[in-house]
Amino acid sequence: MIKNKKFKLRAFVSLYMTIAFLVMTISGIILFIAPPGRIANWSYWSILGLTKAEWQATHIIFTFVFILATVLHIIYNWKPLITYLASKISGVSSIRKELTLSILFSSFLFLGTYYKVTPFVNLIDFGEEFTNSWGDEKNEPPVAHAERFTISELAIQLNISTDQLVQRLAVNGYVVKDTLQTLETLAEEYSVYPNDIYTTLISKDKATNTSSNIKLGSGLGRKKISEIFAENGLNWESGVDLLKEKNIIVLEDARLKDIATECKILPTDIINALISE
């Protein structure tokens, strides 16, 4: 007869650390190549059945418990660890070169990353380019994290009244019970994506203002201000002058989000300044 073996916490901790390491490696790689939050949350991007938010949660939880497991692992192996360290310290002169090199190499990695030197900056840039490559006209939100807009804020974005927006949503089968409800929660309620609802809305109105041909298209934040001017029939001088009247100073042809950050406003504020004309 096979006797039931006693549960061994030490073995459990060691096995968990191995599994957690694999999960953290996989989730880390996926988060490195995942699209930016503005795209992932807007279109509910997923891989292997998990959204970016779910991968982030998985990575955080497994990492947190991994740290606790590491502490337990050190406690359970305290005596052999102390003995091992004592033996290494006593013989440190024999590995002095290796120790010095490992410290220098670690410092090189840290400083190279901090000061964004080659090849570290290239790897970071590659990651950013790869994540941004997920964006297209179908899954780019009008502004970053547009899914967090309340119905009232979305109405402002679309340049219509809140009542008009509520009516338009109702016509398309989306009943709004509270105008402070976010687009994200409304989408969850009807088991659709935020961009599904938004696409339905702008297909009727094209997301433009009736008194202007300024387009509130996708991915505006990454476009240069000159592109926005050109797409909507404005030359550089007239576009800059319009913004200047609204105390928005444009000194160079930069990306919309960079200009907004410099002026301490939102990209939509710049668009609205053009629309108001």
Q: Find how far residue 241's CA is from the centre of its chain.
A: 34
Give the separation between CA 264 and CA 258, rounded to whole angstroms. 10
| Per-residue pLDDT tens digits for 131-180 | 777 766 666 677 767 788 888 888 887 788 888 888 888 888 888 888 88
| Whole-prediction pTM | 0.57
Give the separation between CA 59 and CA 33, rounded to whole angstroms. 14
Q: Which of 123, 125, 134, 128 is nearest to 47 (CA)?
A: 134
| Per-residue pLDDT tens digits for 72-115 | 888 888 887 777 667 666 665 566 777 788 889 999 999 998 88
Burial class (CB in 10 A: 0-12, 13-18, 19+), 138: exposed
Please state the φ and ψ torsions of residue 46, each to the nearest 5 degrees: -150, 160
3-state secondary structure (DSSP) of residue 258: helix
Give the separation between CA 162 and CA 19, rounded to whole angstroms. 50
Cα torsion angle, 131, 133, 139, 142, sign: positive
Q: Where do runs of H (alpha helix) occur along the chain? A: 9-33, 37-43, 52-76, 78-90, 96-114, 120-132, 151-157, 162-171, 183-189, 194-205, 225-231, 236-245, 256-263, 267-275
